[in-house]
């Protein structure tokens, strides 16, 4: 039985892959772990796939997946999780900023302390201030909204029980929120470990400041999906009801006012000449549209496809 599966998304990291896999191999052999390294080539335009082919030809522990194009880190991790067979699944980045020396302790925390998820915390970072300050702000907001007391949601170095990764599906840019997805799936014992963060040795970072804006949008999205994925009518139906009732009562008020004025012999403006009439009309139409949206969403939910969003072109050593 394989004890550890190491899943590594790769995007234009041909200079670091060999060094990283050798480092992982030394750590595994030193501690006597049975292991596999799953490298997922996420549409690299450099020699990353060629390097992976050479490594897999020489080492049976190294396995590879090659995407037809760039699908993103979440898709790469999801593909690796599907293929992973280890008792504990470790994720890390391919840029050598995550240290494989952390693997034994992460494994121990999962197997001996009983954590479902252990997230790395890069307490001392070797990144420019343009990345560290937005990252702290992002993590603070995420911590507040999610209720999970982690300091570094963005850290790529994490460990999971096998059953965790087999019971969650990540897509889009949801890789930042795997601990949150795990918690919502019932795996609530989530720990944290301070890990060594190393300066980038090769190439340049693939992430810009826009990832933090995307991160907030993803947080809103994942929160909404969790609450209403299986019951979208609860959201759209509520809004539709409020909008429709608002329009209905305004209309009743205007009609009642007109009837009352006529009964008293007063001069009253026509209902259609009043601004409130148009507000009521818009509210009624929006209410009906929201109801229809809820019904359509319910139909889509009941017939949703489980097909993954990524496409694998080639496999190595599976």
DSSP string, 291-318: HHHHHHHHHHHHT-----S--EEEEE--
Res. 316: pLDDT tops 70: yes
| Topology, domain 4-229 | Spore Coat Polysaccharide Biosynthesis Protein SpsA; Chain A (3.90.550)
* Range 241-256 average pLDDT: 89
Percent of the chain whose predicted confidence (pLDDT) is above 90: 45
pLDDT at 296 over 60: yes
DSSP three-state, residue 40 = strand
Cβ burial of 112 (10 Å; 0-12, 13-18, 19+) is exposed
Structure tokens at 285: 């139409």
Q: Which residues pair with 315 in a beta bridge?
A: 65
Q: What is the pLDDT of residue 213?
A: 65
Report the pLDDT averaged over residues 39-58: 95
What does the pLDDT average to over 120-125? 82
- Gap between the Cα atoms of 105 and 109, Å rounded: 6
Tell me the C-alpha distance between 162 and 18, whole Å.
Answer: 26
Residue 217, pLDDT > 90, answer no
Structure tokens at 180: 């949150």
The owner of tokens 């006597």 is 32
Cα gap 62→101, rounded to integer Å: 18
Please report the pLDDT score of residue 269 as a whole number: 75
| pLDDT over 90 (residue 49) | yes
| Range 98-113 average pLDDT | 96
pTM of the model: 0.74
Residue 240 gets the label, from left (phi > 0), alpha (psi -120 to 50) or beta, of: alpha
CB atoms within 10 A of CB 278: 11
Q: Residue 165 — pLDDT band, cuts 50, 70, 90?
A: very high
3-state secondary structure of 153: coil
For 31-40, write each residue's pLDDT tens digit: 999 999 999 9
What ranges do the domains of the chain cover?
4-229, 232-302
With a cut of 90, say whether residue 27 has pLDDT above it. Answer: yes
Write down the pLDDT at residue 56.
94
Alpha helices in the chain (DSSP H): 17-31, 48-58, 73-83, 103-111, 129-146, 162-165, 178-184, 210-228, 232-263, 275-302
pLDDT-above-70 percentage for the chain: 86
Number of Cβ atoms within 10 Å of the Cβ of 22: 13
Q: Please write the tens of the pLDDT for every residue from 154-163.
A: 888 999 999 9
Task: Band the pLDDT of 48: cuts 50, 70, 90.
Answer: very high
Give how far the C-alpha of residue 88 lies from the chain's centroid of Cα atoms, to the nearest Å: 20
Q: Highest-confidence range of 110-119, 251-260, 303-312, by mean pLDDT?
A: 110-119
Q: Which residue has the higher pLDDT, 308 or 30?
A: 30
Task: Please report, for residues 16, 39, 46, 76, 282, the alpha-carbon distance to residue 10 in angstroms, rounded to integers and kept in the order given.
Answer: 10, 7, 11, 8, 50
- What is the tens place of the pLDDT at every residue in 70-94? 998 989 999 999 999 999 999 999 9
């Amino acid at each position: 039985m394989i004890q550890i599966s190491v899943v590594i998304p790769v995007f234009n990291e041909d200079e670091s892959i060999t060094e990283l896999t050798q480092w992982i191999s030394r750590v595994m052999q030193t501690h006597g772990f049975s292991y596999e390294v799953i490298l997922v080539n996420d549409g690299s335009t450099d020699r990353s796939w060629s390097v992976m082919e050479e490594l897999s030809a020489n080492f049976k522990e190294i396995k590879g997946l090659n995407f037809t194009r760039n699908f993103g880190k979440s898709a790469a991790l999801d593909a690796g999780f599907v293929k992973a067979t280890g008792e504990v699944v470790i994720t890390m980045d391919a840029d050598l900023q995550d240290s494989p020396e952390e693997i034994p302790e992460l494994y121990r925390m999962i197997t001996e302390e009983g954590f479902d998820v252990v997230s790395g915390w890069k307490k001392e970072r070797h990144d420019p201030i343009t990345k560290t300050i937005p990252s702290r702000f992002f993590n603070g907001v995420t911590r507040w909204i999610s209720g999970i007391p982690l300091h570094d949601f963005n850290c790529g170095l994490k460990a999971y029980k096998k059953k965790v990764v087999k019971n969650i599906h990540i897509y889009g840019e949801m890789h930042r929120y795997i601990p949150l997805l795990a918690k919502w799936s019932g795996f609530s014992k989530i720990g944290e470990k301070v890990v060594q963060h190393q300066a980038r040795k090769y190439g340049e970072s693939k992430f810009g400041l826009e990832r933090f804006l995307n991160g907030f949008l993803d947080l809103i999205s994942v929160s909404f999906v969790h609450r209403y994925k299986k019951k979208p009518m609860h959201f759209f139906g509520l809004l539709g009801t409020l909008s429709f009732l608002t329009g209905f009562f305004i209309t009743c008020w205007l009609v009642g006012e007109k009837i009352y004025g006529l009964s008293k012999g007063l001069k009253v403006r026509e209902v259609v000449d009043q601004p409130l009439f148009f507000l009521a009309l818009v509210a009624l139409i929006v209410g009906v549209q929201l109801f229809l949206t809820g019904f359509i969403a319910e139909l889509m939910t009941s017939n949703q496809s489980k097909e993954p969003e990524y496409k694998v072109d080639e496999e190595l050593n599976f």
